[in-house]
């Protein structure tokens, strides 16, 4: 069901407290991003349809249920990469596409610089990944890009969102569900989410 979902399980809230802290170093930050992605994935996939399969146990044959969908993860470069491992832990067969967009620091508008997707992406459930949903400009442009390539099943997974970005996506892409761990109150004048966690890319890759 499309819409906006805050996945606020106690484990997620606890890990988010660690992620936000300025004292959390690069290694721990990267690990926690990955763990949060795993936990959110659990919620994202909870309503997936199942099909019956016959399984031979050591004792007999039995009927089991299994997911019958193909997935693609599409991290928005570069911070979205920090969520891929955590999702692969639950869905190891997913293919990975990449969308490279950055925000022009003056206009805050997204600019495309690299995109590569699995050839059968339109047959897959697509999980679009970006730890931060700030203005929503980058995510909206990434969704446009996917839709132009006939992708129809898109879910946007973020770790921290804010109302401006959420409203933009829900208005421009009402068919796309958003899953977030936290919806923070505001954006500052530099386009950072407050209280947020700073620049997610820099903190994942240790570039600052």
List, by residue number, the catalytic residues.
Answer: 103, 107, 199, 202
Please tell me the number of Cα atoms within 13 Å of 105 on its side-chain side: 0
Shortest Å, Cβ 119 to ligand URA: 30
Residue 162, class by beta-carbon neighbours within 10 Å (0-12 exposed, 13-18 middle, 19+ buried)?
A: buried
Q: Which is nearer to ligand URA, 125 or 183 (CB)?
A: 183
Neighbours of 100 (CB within 10 A): 16
Tokens of 198: 């700073």
Provide the 3-class DSSP secondary structure of residue 46: coil
Q: Which is nearer to ligand URA, 91 or 139 (CB)?
A: 139
Q: Are strands 125-129 and 110-116 parallel, antiparallel or unpaired?
A: unpaired
Shortest Å, Cβ 149 to ligand URA: 25
Q: Do 162 and 188 meet the contact criterion of CB atoms below 8 Å apart?
A: no
Q: Which is nearer to ligand URA, 85 or 202 (CB)?
A: 202
Provide the 3-class DSSP secondary structure of residue 147: helix
Q: Do 65 and 52 meet the contact criterion of CB atoms below 8 Å apart?
A: yes
Binding site for ligand URA (CB under 6 A): 79, 132, 134, 191-193, 196, 199-201
Q: Do 198 and 22 meet the contact criterion of CB atoms below 8 Å apart?
A: yes
């Amino acid at each position: 069901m499309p819409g906006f979902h805050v996945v606020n399980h106690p484990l997620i809230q606890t890990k988010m407290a660690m992620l936000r802290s300025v004292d959390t170093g690069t290694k721990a930050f990267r690990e926690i991003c990955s763990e949060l992605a795993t936990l959110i994935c659990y919620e994202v996939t909870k309503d997936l349809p199942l099909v019956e399969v016959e399984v031979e146990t050591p004792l007999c044959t039995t009927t089991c249920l299994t997911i019958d969908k193909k997935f693609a993860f599409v991290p928005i470069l570069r911070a979205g990469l920090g969520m891929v491992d955590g999702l692969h832990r639950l869905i190891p067969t997913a293919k990975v596409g990449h969308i490279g967009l950055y925000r022009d620091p003056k206009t805050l508008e997204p600019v495309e610089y690299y995109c590569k997707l699995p050839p059968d992406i339109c047959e897959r459930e697509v999980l679009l990944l970006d730890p931060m949903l700030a203005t929503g400009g980058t995510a909206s442009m990434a969704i446009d890009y996917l839709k132009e390539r006939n992708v129809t099943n898109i879910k946007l997974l973020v770790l921290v969102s804010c109302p401006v970005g959420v409203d933009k996506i829900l208005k421009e892409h009402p068919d796309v569900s958003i899953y977030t761990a936290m919806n923070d109150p505001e954006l500052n004048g530099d386009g950072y989410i407050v209280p947020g966690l700073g620049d997610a890319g820099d903190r994942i890759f240790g570039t600052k």
